[in-house]
Amino acid sequence: MILQALYKFAQREGLDAFLDFEPKRISWIVCVGADGSFIPPVRDVRQDTRPLERRSKGKPKMGGVFKFVPRQAERAGTKAPACFFVDNVKYVFGRPIGEGAFSEEEGREKSDWFRQRVQECADATGDEGALAVAKLLHGVAAGGISVALPGDCKSNEQFAFVFAPDVDMFVHERPAVRQYWMQLRRGQETDQPIYQCLVTGEPISTPPLFPFIDKVPGAPKSISLVAFNKPAFESYGWAGNENAPVSRRAAELCSNALNRLLDPAYPDPANPEQALPERHLRLSADTAVCYWAADGGGDAFCDVLGGLLQANPERVAELYRSIWRGRRIGIEDQTAFYALTLTGQQGRAIVRDWFETTVANVSRNLAAYFGDLDVVRNAHSKGETDDGFPLPMGLLLESLAPQGDREQIPAPLISQVVRTALQGTQFPFSLVERCVQRARAETGLGNQKGLKGFSARRRADARAALLKAVLNRRKRFHRETTRYKEVQRSMDPLNTSEGYLLGGLIAVLECVQQAALGKDVKATIVDRYFSGASATPKVVFVRLLKNARHHISKARDGDQAGRVFRLEKLIDTLADRFDPKRNGFPAHLDLEQQGLFVLGYHQMRHWLGMGKEARARWETDHRDAPPAYLWSKQS
């Protein structure tokens, strides 16, 4: 099913228009005269890049002009074949450059292979351009012609030839040369069909190797999606790709589709100077999700999907705002939608996840996803508010790893989060444990000043959003077995879950300590006791409440007497829920309640830090809150 969807996508995108050709950067151009002479200099076109080239980080990488060149075979070992008319300097001129330098004899052998392919074309077609290039290469090999190569040429940069009378046409683009190349590739196929193609159903001869794919995250070089490089992968006596027979055309179209999906700026077949819209999202160093629609009706949604997941308002505009606010949007398109998550490992592309649905379902699922993640924040970038755009998936993943290094997050877990967002399923419950562990390790960091403290608060906001989403969705899927109340966007005074109340209580106790000792306390009670309080509250909170009385007594004589008075009432209200007559503080909290503890602390800290206007709005929306929460009435 994956290959069939990729095959159809390649046809729809026009990637079969030049099936025998592929887009490559040409960095250097060698001009050849009609008599086979070299017309200096070798032209450097590495700066002539497409205007719409996109890169995820840094400046655009300058590397040459994009052209559709004869499809190049994958190379392995020292006996790798030469390509047709376009190749690197090692094959074109037999020159060793940089690392992996070879002997003079090996250089002659490589250049002989390249020259032989050019000569065969020239003999078969009689094309003037091909004959001129062949004559030039023979002159270079014989030492009669010298081609001065630039000093900054790299070993992997591609050389191409231009026949002087053509001016703006490469030799491999000349009609006779093109036709020869296409016929040559057709001649590689036999007329003895033995197998049936798994993609098209057509009869085929011995299945070819599946073409390699570029830019798979985590892969140091091009790798294949379909490969049988060990006997353990084979069965029923079939050898190699006989285990999954796919015709050459279908395999190349599928690889074209994957190359197009994984490239941030794949050239448009109709106009190589322009780039096709991006259709993938990089999740980590070794994982990416590719997505596309079955026909053009879903392209508009796919154009903004990456921005939706990355919370990029500039790319999403009104469509994004509609989904973010959870409103029904004007996309009821029943076009099929596909998502494929890939990881590059061990010389092959690993399919982490695959599913298909409709554009309409994805839009609704994303609305629910953003709604579940919506939570108040304690850190805001410039211009952001609590009603701003949701946190990007990159930050959500960073909040689960030490120092925000998302590369430490397992690829299967990342793919599950993406599936949840697009398909509306449950979040993996293992996220709760990761969030709690990172909260225990980083909660105190949010009190630091500067960028380090701000980054820690941003990650804390992301963890709170994830915990709220995981627990609320788990509640909806398992209403009979879960005993906690769904968490609201902001602090809920009527939420009686033990973990939520205790998280709020430690936030209030921290605030009292800061009022008594000042904000420059070296280690707050949260720094010291957050981990123990969230796991075994009975051991910790009795001691914390005793210390709180001393802090309250000290702070009553200061300039925060009114605030401390309100905090004391709030402590009494929260602690009364754990009166000894009601079994007191629990001895321990299970994982769900520990997650609620983190949420209670997060939302109470936000509530305690509200300004006058925000608090007035909150009290208007929570008129049924206990008196201790209605501070305006206590003035």
Counting beta carbons within 10 angstroms of the beta carbon of residue 38, is it exposed (0 to 12), middle (13 to 18) or buried (19 or more)? middle
H-run or E-run covering 293 = strand 287-293
Residues 438, 444, 448: CA angle, nearest 5 degrees: 125
The yes-or-no verdict on residue 313 having pLDDT over 60 is no
How far apart are the C-alpha atoms of 203 and 517, rounded to whole Å?
82
pLDDT confidence bin for 465, thresholds 50/70/90: very high
Give me the number of domains the chain comprises.
Answer: 2
Which residue in the block uniquely carries the two structure tokens 């029904």?
328
Last residue of one domain, picked from the residues 134, 154, 188: 188
Q: Which of 38-47, 244-253, 340-349 has the lowest mean pLDDT?
A: 340-349
Strand spans (E) along 359-413: none
Please determine, for residue 498, whether its predicted confidence score (pLDDT) is greater than 70.
Answer: yes
What is the pLDDT averaged over residues 563-573?
91
pLDDT of amino acid 54: 45
| Local structure of residue 294 (DSSP, 8 states) | S
- Give the C-alpha separation, 493 to 469, whole Å: 19
CA distance 100 to 106: 12
Question: pLDDT tens for residues 103-156?
Answer: 778 888 889 999 999 999 999 999 999 999 999 999 999 989 999 888 888 888
Note whether residue 138 is domain-resident. yes
Q: What is the dihedral of CA 94, 96, 97, 102, to 10 degrees?
A: 150
315 Cβ partners below 8 Å, 6+ apart? Answer: 304, 306, 307
Looking at residues 515-536, what average pLDDT do you find? 86
Using one digit for the tens of pLDDT, what is the confidence trace for 164-176?
999 789 999 999 9
Is residue 305 assigned to a domain? Answer: no
Q: What is the pLDDT of residue 155?
A: 81
Q: How far apart are CA 42 and CA 168, in angstroms?
A: 15
Closest by Cα among 287, 327, 322 to 308: 322
529 is in which domain, residue-wise?
493-635
Distance CA 133, CA 85 (A): 9
Share of the chain above pLDDT 70, in %: 88
Cα separation, 28 vs 395, whole angstroms: 41
Q: What is the pLDDT of residue 550?
A: 85
In 55-129, beta strands by DSSP E: 65-70, 87-88
What is the C-alpha separation between 267 and 52, in angstroms, rounded? 9
Place of tokens 């190699």: 240
CB-based contacts of 73, cutoff 8 Å, min separation 6: 80, 81, 83
Q: Nearest CA to 505 among 605, 615, 633? A: 605
Q: List residues bridging with 68 in a β-sheet.
A: 23
For 187-194, the CB contacts below 8 A with 24+ separation are 188/248, 189/248
List of residues 6+ apart from 118 with CB closer than 8 A: 85, 130, 133, 134, 137
pLDDT band at 520 (very low <50, low <70, confident <90, very high): low
Between the alpha carbon of residue 386 and those of residues 268, 311, 374, 376, 461, the distances in Å are 40, 14, 9, 6, 11
240 assigned to some structural domain: no
* Angle at 148 (CA atoms; ends 144, 152), nearest 5 degrees: 155
d(CA 179, CA 309): 45
Lowest mean pLDDT among 20-29, 224-233, 360-369, 606-615: 224-233
Instruction: Find out whether 21 and 253 touch, Cβ atoms under 8 Å.
Output: no
Closest by Cα among 95, 70, 100 to 83:
70
pLDDT, residue 381, reads 63
Structure-model confidence comparison of residues 54 and 48, the more confident one: 48
What band does 163 get if pLDDT is binned at 50, 70 and 90? very high
- Residues 251 and 212: their CA atoms lie apart, in Å, by 10
The pLDDT assigned to 386 comes to: 55
Place of tokens 């980590």: 284
CB atoms within 10 A of CB 157: 18
Over residues 157-161, the mean pLDDT reads: 94
In a domain, 536, yes or no: yes
Residue where a domain terminates, one of 166, 188, 210: 188
Residue 469 lies in a domain: no
CA distances from 224 to 212, 258, 261, 270 (A): 4, 10, 15, 26
Q: Strand order of the sheet with strand 287-293?
A: 280-284, 287-293, 336-345, 348-358
Residue 96: both structure tokens together: 């060793």
**Whose structure tokens read 């009190």?**
447
- Out of 178-187, 236-245, 287-296, 400-409, pick the least confident: 236-245
Q: Is residue 378 part of a domain?
A: no
Q: How far is CA 409 from CA 113, 434, 462, in A?
A: 46, 10, 15
pLDDT in tens, 262-306: 998 888 888 877 888 889 988 888 899 999 998 887 887 787 777
* Segment of 110-114, 211-215, 363-367, 404-408 carrying the highest mean pLDDT: 110-114
Q: Angle at CA 294, nearest 5°, toward 283 and 416?
A: 30
Question: Are β-strands 348-358 and 267-268 bridged in parallel, bridged antiparallel, or unpaired?
Answer: unpaired
pLDDT digit string, tens, across residues 416-456 = 998 998 899 999 999 999 999 999 999 878 777 778 888 89
Examine residue 620 and state whether it is found in any structural domain, yes or no: yes
108 occurs within a structural domain? yes
pLDDT of 378 > 70? The answer is yes
* Mean pLDDT (whole number) for 300-315: 68
Domain termination site, one of 162, 188, 214? 188
Residues above pLDDT 90, as percent of the chain:
43
